[in-house]
């Protein structure tokens, strides 16, 4: 998933991780996080989760993906979102399981299709109540 994000948001932005589950991944996030450029409502109310905004940069995302793969981290974080610093463009609650991702309707269909293809998932639907 992380490796595919640049196809969806090629102009950059940030990946928001909430509720990390592994100390090694939390340490990586802490080392690479930036100050929160956008306030995102917590998906977990209690206990208050940790949260990190990491620049959506292919090198950083590859590092994260390698760490996750090498350490066999099944659930790196509970919630994952991507944003451009002003608005959320992808929401994924209960991330890394079978819950759907929601992509903002302003993302061109071609990018959504490229993202889905890189992730080897489908079909992709466009709901009328998209974010």
pLDDT digits (tens, 9 = 90+) for 51-84: 999 999 999 999 999 999 999 999 999 999 999 9
pLDDT digits (tens, 9 = 90+) for 17-49: 999 989 999 999 999 999 988 899 888 878 888
- How far apart, in whole angstroms, are the C-alpha atoms of residue 119 and residue 39? 27
| Burial letters 42-77, b for 16+ CB under 10 A, else e | ebeeeeebebbbbebbeeebebbbebbeeeebeebb
What is the reported pLDDT for 63? 97
What pTM was estimated for this model as a whole?
0.88
């Amino acid at each position: 998933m992380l490796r595919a994000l640049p196809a969806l948001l090629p102009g950059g932005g940030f990946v928001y991780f909430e509720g990390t589950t592994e100390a090694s991944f939390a340490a990586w996030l802490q080392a690479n996080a930036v100050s929160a450029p956008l306030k995102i409502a917590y998906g977990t109310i209690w206990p208050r989760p940790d949260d990190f905004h990491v620049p959506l940069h292919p090198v950083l995302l590859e590092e994260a993906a390698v760490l996750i793969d090498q350490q066999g981290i099944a659930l790196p974080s509970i919630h994952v979102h991507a944003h451009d610093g002003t608005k959320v463009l992808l929401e994924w609650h209960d991330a890394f399981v079978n819950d759907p991702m929601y992509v903002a309707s302003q993302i061109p269909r071609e990018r959504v299709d490229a993202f889905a293809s890189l992730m080897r998932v489908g079909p992709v639907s466009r709901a009328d109540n998209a974010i």
